[in-house]
Amino acid sequence: MDYFSDEVRRSKVIELLVLTRHTMTAFDWESYTQDNLTNYLLAVNNIPSNELKAWAHQTFEYIHYSQMDQNRLYTKAVSDAINIIDSEFVKNVTLEDVAGRVGVSSQYLSKIFKEETNQTFVEYLTNLRITRAKEIIQTSDQPIKQVGIMVGYKDPNYFSRIFRSVVGISPSDFRKNVKTRLSSKD
């Protein structure tokens, strides 16, 4: 950058920032009007040359941190673990199995999973299963025993206990409440 004139340097920085923002945020260029771009370019053009480098650094940091907050990015291990859980929750998913598949120890996955999701591995799996069970109960007449099996619980009594502990009522009472609400809307 030191070899370029101030005008070329400014142009390159702006180009790099626009490309970076586009890449990181999958920016919707259709909705980004010409006025916004023009105002942005005018504002950057008014930054003194000796402050341009610091401005570019701050802008990159802003793009980076706003993207992290926006998408709540997880480490690769946690992201991969979530993908495995989300796609295989009906199977016998264990922390040890998932940790092995994502290439970390179960202790490490347990620690970072809790830090990044604010839930333990088991809490995440349980909440996912119960959320899916509620959806099935609300949209079908499947027997409660079958619903439990459909979301990964082989023992219907255990499924009912877990459902009650998460939702506050039994799966049967949940279904009754749903039907009552639906019939009262008619």
- Contacts for 143 with CB less than 8 Å, ≥ 6 apart: none
Residue-number span of the structural domain to which 17 is assigned: 6-71
- pTM to 2 decimals? 0.60
The answer to whether residue 162 is domain-embedded is yes
Residue 180 pLDDT: 83
Which two structure tokens, joined as six digits, stand for 63? 């793009």
Regarding whether 82 and 58 lie in a shared domain, the answer is no
φ/ψ (deg, to 5) at 170 = -70, 160
Task: Tell me what percent of the residues of the chain surpass a pLDDT of 90.
Answer: 48
Over residues 5-49, the pLDDT tens digits come to: 777 777 777 777 666 555 444 444 444 444 455 666 677 677 777
Regarding whether 51 and 119 lie in a shared domain, the answer is no
- What's the CA gap between 23 and 12, in Å, rounded? 16
pLDDT band at residue 152 using 50, 70 and 90 as cut-offs: very high
Pair 159, 171: CB distance under 8 Å: yes
Regarding whether 80 and 61 lie in a shared domain, the answer is no
Regarding whether 33 and 10 lie in a shared domain, the answer is yes
Residue 22 pLDDT: 52
Pick the closest to residue 148 from 164, 135, 130 (CA basis). Answer: 130
Boundary of a domain, candidates 71, 98, 123: 71
For residue 125, is pLDDT > 60?
Answer: yes
Boundary of a domain, candidates 19, 36, 71: 71
